[in-house]
């Protein structure tokens, strides 16, 4: 990946690292986005006692760390592996994957136009990085907000080719909202009542899905291109379930679930 950031990372920033050397009580890594060196102390590799540090890290391994401290005067950077949770790790890897996909778009066009990939990349990023933090952030706006690459300063013919390829390969992001619905009724045909109520709720939107978690609990997922739309659907579905189950003297509660 060509993408590089200038300067130093900020404390608390997630960074993608390549393990360079492993010692008895420390690891030296390369911050791939900055091309800087950092140290990972054994105490920050994993919680609990570590018998063999190589059970966790090896030379050449790609890991996601968080910046603990930056000393610019001494050019020293401390990072942590154990303080990065699974959700943060997935999110960071997703950002890297998106940027690699964006670079592939530029590479494809470079081949089509018989241009040197790096030269075209530098030409585009010199314009794009003035307003956007990454290629993907810019390309996503082409799809989501109909951004004009030509107005951004990219040559008309190149902008047209990019626009077509971006729309083919990048899909609008989806917002996912989730929660747990708890419903019950003492009616003799309670199972059928609940099926009917939940079935009616699902009929409200094709963007909603409900599955049983057991013991009267059901997981509700709502997908949409915009947060406001997802919230509206979630509100419609939950209010419908609450209103309908009350007709059968049933109980209802809803618990919002936080996404990663």
- Using CA atoms, how far residue 74 sits from 67, 144, 172, in Å, is 16, 43, 43
CATH number, domain containing residue 92: 1.10.150
Asked, for residue 186, whether it belongs to a domain, the answer is yes
Residue 98: inside a domain: yes
CA-wise closest residue to 35 among 73, 71, 77? 77
pLDDT number for residue 259: 60
Last-in-domain residue among 136, 169, 202: 169
What CATH code is carried by the domain that includes residue 34? 2.40.50.140
Whether residue 9 is contained in a domain is answered as no
Count of the separate structural domains present in the chain:
3
Domain containing 27 equals 14-83
Question: Is the Cα dihedral 78, 82, 83, 87 positive or negative?
Answer: positive
Residue where a domain stops, chosen among 131, 152, 169: 169
pTM tops 0.85, yes or no: no
Same domain, 132 and 78: no
* Residue after which a domain boundary falls, among 83, 98, 113: 83
pLDDT at position 6: 87
* 94 and 165 housed in the same domain: yes
Cα–Cα distance between 133 and 5 in angstroms, integer?
9
What is the pLDDT, as a whole number, of residue 126?
96
**pLDDT (tens place) for every residue of the chain, 260 residues total:** 788 888 999 999 999 999 999 999 999 999 999 989 999 999 999 999 999 999 999 999 999 999 999 999 999 999 999 999 999 999 999 999 999 999 999 999 999 999 999 999 999 999 999 999 999 999 999 998 899 999 999 999 999 999 999 999 998 878 899 999 999 999 999 999 999 999 999 999 999 999 999 989 999 999 988 888 999 999 999 999 999 999 999 999 999 987 65
For residue 2, is it within any domain? no
């Amino acid at each position: 990946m060509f993408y590089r950031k200038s300067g130093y990372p900020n404390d608390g920033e997630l960074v993608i690292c390549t393990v360079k050397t492993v010692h008895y009580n420390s690891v030296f890594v390369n911050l791939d986005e900055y091309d800087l060196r950092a140290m990972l102390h054994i105490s920050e590799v994993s919680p609990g006692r570590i018998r063999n540090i190589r059970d966790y890290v090896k030379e050449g391994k790609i890991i996601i760390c968080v910046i603990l401290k930056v000393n610019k005067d001494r050019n020293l950077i401390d990072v942590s592996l154990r303080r990065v949770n699974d959700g943060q790790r997935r999110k960071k890897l997703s950002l890297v994957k998106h940027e690699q996909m964006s670079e592939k778009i530029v590479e494809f066009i470079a081949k089509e136009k018989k241009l040197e990939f790096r030269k075209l990349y530098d030409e585009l990023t010199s314009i794009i990085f003035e307003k956007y933090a990454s290629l993907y952030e810019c390309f996503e706006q082409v799809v989501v907000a109909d951004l004009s690459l030509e107005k951004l300063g990219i040559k008309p013919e190149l902008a047209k080719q990019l626009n077509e390829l971006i729309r083919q390969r990048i899909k609008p992001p989806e917002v996912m909202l989730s929660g747990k619905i708890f419903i019950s009724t003492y009616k003799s045909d309670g199972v059928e009542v609940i099926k009917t109520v939940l079935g009616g709720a699902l009929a409200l939107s094709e963007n909603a899905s409900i599955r049983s978690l057991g013991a009267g609990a059901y997981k509700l997922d709502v997908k949409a291109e915009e947060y406001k739309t997802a919230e509206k659907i979630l509100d419609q579905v939950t209010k419908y379930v609450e209103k309908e189950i009350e007709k059968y003297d049933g109980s209802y509660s809803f618990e919002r679930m936080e996404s990663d």
